C-alpha cells in the first residue's frame, strides 16, 4: 500500500469533513467544509455566515448564521430576526427566533418575540418567561417556564423538579415525571392530532 501511495500521491490526500445545508435565502442544498467560516450560495449568490455569534449587550442586527448564537446574561437580541443551528439564551430576546436544531435556555431568560424550531430545552435551575407564541417539535422542561402560547407538535416533557405554566398549550403528547408540575387552565389544553 505504501508503494502505491508514493506512485499515486492523490490517494494520500486528507479527507475533508463536509456538511450539507440549505441556503437560508433560496433553499439550494450546499455541500460546505466543516471548517469554513463563510460560503457563497451557488443558487442565489448570497453570502452565508457560518460563524458562532456571542451577544453580551444589546444587538439590533439581523443575525442569520449556520453557527451557534449565545445570548449571555446581559445580552439582548433586539433585531428583526435571528436564525441559527443552535441557540443558548441566558439573557433576553425580542427578535423572531428560528432554531434549525435546538434552543437551550439557561439562567433567567426572557423571550419576548416568537420562537420556533426542533427542540427547546429549559435546563435545570433556569427560569424562562415568554410573551409570544413558542412553536417547537419537542419541549423539555427541567427548570421553570412561564409561557403565553405553546404549540408543540410532538412531546412536552416536564422533568422531576421542573414546572411549566402555560396560558395556552397545544401538544402531540405529554410526559410529566414524578416531581414535575404542569399548570394550565383545562380549557386551554389541546391535544394536537
pLDDT at residue 62 in the model: 92
Query: Of 150 and 193, which is predicted with more confidence?
Result: 150
Q: What is the pLDDT of residues 12-25, one digit of tens each?
A: 556 668 777 777 77
pLDDT in tens, 31-68: 877 777 767 778 888 767 777 899 999 999 999 888 89
The total of structural domains in the chain comes to 2
Q: What's the mean per-residue pLDDT of the chain?
A: 87
Whether 72 maps to a domain, the answer reads yes
Do 107 and 82 have their domain in common? yes
Is there a domain that residue 193 lies in? no
Secondary structure (3-state) at 29 = strand
Could you give the CA distance from residue 148 to residue 88 in angstroms, rounded to a whole number?
21
> Of 15-19, 70-74, 94-98, which range is least confident?
15-19
User: Looking at the structure, do residues 70 and 100 belong to the same domain, yes or no?
Assistant: yes
pLDDT value, residue 50: 72
pTM of the model: 0.80
**Assigned domain for 187 exists:** no
Any idea which of 46-55, 109-118, 129-138 has the lowest mean pLDDT?
46-55
Domain range for 25: 1-50
Residues 82 and 24 in one domain: no
Specify if 186 maps to a domain.
no
Amino acid at each position: 500500500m505504501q508503494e502505491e501511495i508514493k506512485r499515486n500521491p492523490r490517494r494520500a490526500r486528507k479527507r475533508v469533513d463536509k456538511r450539507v445545508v440549505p441556503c437560508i435565502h433560496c433553499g439550494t442544498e450546499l455541500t460546505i467544509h466543516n471548517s469554513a467560516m463563510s460560503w457563497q450560495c451557488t443558487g442565489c449568490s448570497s453570502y452565508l455566515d457560518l460563524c458562532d455569534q456571542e451577544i453580551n449587550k444589546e444587538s439590533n442586527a439581523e443575525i442569520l448564521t449556520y453557527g451557534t448564537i449565545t445570548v449571555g446574561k446581559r445580552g439582548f437580541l433586539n433585531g428583526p430576526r435571528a436564525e441559527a443551528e443552535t441557540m443558548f439564551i441566558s439573557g433576553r430576546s425580542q427578535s423572531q427566533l428560528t432554531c434549525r436544531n435546538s434552543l437551550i435556555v439557561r439562567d433567567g431568560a426572557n423571550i419576548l418575540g416568537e420562537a420556533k424550531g426542533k427542540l427547546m430545552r429549559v435546563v435545570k435551575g433556569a427560569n424562562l418567561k415568554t410573551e409570544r407564541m413558542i412553536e417547537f417539535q419537542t419541549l423539555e422542561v427541567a427548570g421553570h417556564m412561564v409561557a403565553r402560547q405553546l404549540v408543540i407538535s410532538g412531546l412536552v416533557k416536564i422533568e422531576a423538579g421542573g414546572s411549566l405554566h402555560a396560558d395556552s398549550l397545544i401538544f402531540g403528547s405529554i410526559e410529566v415525571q414524578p416531581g414535575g408540575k404542569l399548570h394550565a387552565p383545562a380549557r386551554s389544553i389541546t391535544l394536537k392530532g
